[in-house]
Amino acid sequence: MEAVPAGARGWVAAAALAASLCVLRVPPTRTPWWAVALLAVLYALCEYAVRRRSDAGFHPVLLAGAFLLSPAAAALVPLPAALLVPVEHEPARLRRVWRAARPSLAAWGASRTHGALGGPRSIATADFPHALLPAGAAVLAFCLVLAALDGGILATAAGVPARRAWRGLFCRSLAPVAVHGLGGLMMAVLWRSPYGPVAALLVLLPMGVSGWVFAQYHRERAAHQATIRALVQAVDIKDGYTRGHSERVGHASVLIARELGLDEERVEVLRFAGILHDVGKLGVPTRLLRKDGPLTPEERRIIELHPEYGHEMVRGISFLGEARAAILHHHERLDGSGYPYGLAGERIPEAARVVAVADAFDAMTSTRCYSRARPVEAALTELERCAGSQFDPRMVAALVRALRRCGWHPAVTADEPAPGVPAPAPAGGPAGAHR
């Protein structure tokens, strides 16, 4: 994160202030500080082990603290982990503050809910199944706080529309946090039993195994990302004039997908589709990709093979899903005059219609060897003019709405003309008449 929006900084600062107010209410004389310290060390160790393999949190110890301690004391447990666990991305200080405030507020909310429903009494007496009700309510409170905080970050840092930023966050986090809550409840009951804290630590073994399995999933996902980066870098090296184009098309595809209200899983697939849409250019001669001026009909036919080349390259990459269809069909046109198969209307896959708009928009707003960048408003006007014949009007309208709200800052993708050298004239023809 090179530049964090002011809104995101404000959101993190507000969360940190709220967490500070929670922590300051710790009763100094009635707090079992040895238990707070032990749980804090355990949580820091678990976070360190888990975050070495993924960016997911490990909550059993945190929830055990919520079941065993007062709300203010439970809010103290995650703080050492925020200071000790390494931060891999900048800005490190802001990320540490967020890592401290987020679980601290969630633990405070869970402990407060658990205490209000008589949870500590049922744990002390091992009163099952009555202990499950306050524990379950505490897990719900924990998830609600995390979802509220994460939605705010999505809205302020990533520019996700407010009406969609919180959509699905609570439901997606409920299942894994419920499993962690069960582990935390087992820890708390054993902690209060005659066997003491040592027995409670045994619960971490199966939870650690589940964390390892979850980390395996994240490693696989990281491998997917590395595969995509390698393919994109290969295209960028081959076609220097479009360097950065793939990432911007991926970003524009995400804007369109979110504006259409697609679920986050499909949004991610469309990001892959946008990033990899031109991977087939690896099979096109470099001299054609870098040629100044117009192409001959034969040269254009060769370049128009790149969607099929790209589809063949990614055919065996199963995690791409519908992104593969988008790579193959992103140059199809709604009126059937596109390529490679001349599909028309709804026969063109939805993902391809999204990427087609994103691709054409970035092509028009980027300077290349054969065309100068157009202003964003001019590019949007051109897309609207071609909606219905070349592009799906829904996708165009979604991009227009997203850019009017979030703005766009295109980067120049070719070297600027040297002084005294005339710049190429603006490209003529319909939107998306690019290589």
Report d(CA 407, CA 403) in Å as an integer.
5
Domain boundaries defined on the chain: 6-215, 239-406
Q: What is the pTM of this model?
A: 0.54
Q: How many CB atoms lie within 10 A of CB 35?
A: 17
Which CA distances in Å does 121 have to 67, 124, 185, 243, 425?
10, 5, 13, 63, 78
More confidently predicted of 87 and 98: 98
Average confidence score pLDDT of the chain: 83
Let me know if 423 is exposed, middle or buried by CB neighbors in 10 A (0-12, 13-18, 19+). Answer: exposed
Q: pLDDT over 90 for what percent of the chain?
A: 43
- What mean pLDDT comes out for the span 83-100? 86
Rounded alpha-carbon distances, angstroms, from residue 71 to 30, 64, 159, 286: 13, 12, 33, 64
In angstroms, the CA 408 to CA 379 distance is 12
What would the pLDDT profile of 276-333 be if each residue is shown by its tens digit? 999 998 888 888 877 777 888 999 999 999 999 999 988 878 788 899 999 999 999 9
Cis, peptide link before residue 91, omega less than 30° from 0: yes
Burial of 331 (0-12, 13-18, 19+ CB in 10 A): buried
102-126: per-residue pLDDT in tens?
Answer: 999 999 999 999 999 999 888 888 7
Sequence-separated (6 or more) residues with CB below 8 Å from residue 89: 1, 95
> How confident is residue 410, by pLDDT bands cut at 50, 70 and 90?
low
User: What pLDDT is recorded for position 208?
Assistant: 64
* pLDDT beyond 80 at 139: yes
Q: Which amino acid is at 284?
A: V
Looking at the predicted structure, is the pLDDT value of residue 44 above 80?
A: yes
Judge contact between 330 and 348, C-beta under 8 A.
no
Phi and psi, residue 371, nearest 5°:
-160, 150
Mean pLDDT of 208-224: 67
* The predicted structure's pLDDT at residue 85: 82
pLDDT band (50, 70, 90) for residue 413: very low
The one-letter amino acid code at 129 reads: P
Q: In this structure, what are the phi and psi dihedrals at residue 184, rounded to the nearest 5 degrees?
A: -65, -40
| Residue 47 confidence (pLDDT) above 90 | no
Q: Inform me whether the pLDDT recorded for 418 exceeds 70.
A: no
Q: Reply yes or no on whether the pLDDT at 212 is more than 80.
A: no
- Determine how many CB atoms are found less than 10 A away from the CB of residue 82: 20
Q: Tokens 């633990």, residue? A: 107
Say yes or no to pLDDT of 54 above 60.
Answer: no
According to CATH, the topology of domain 239-406 is Hypothetical protein af1432 (1.10.3210)
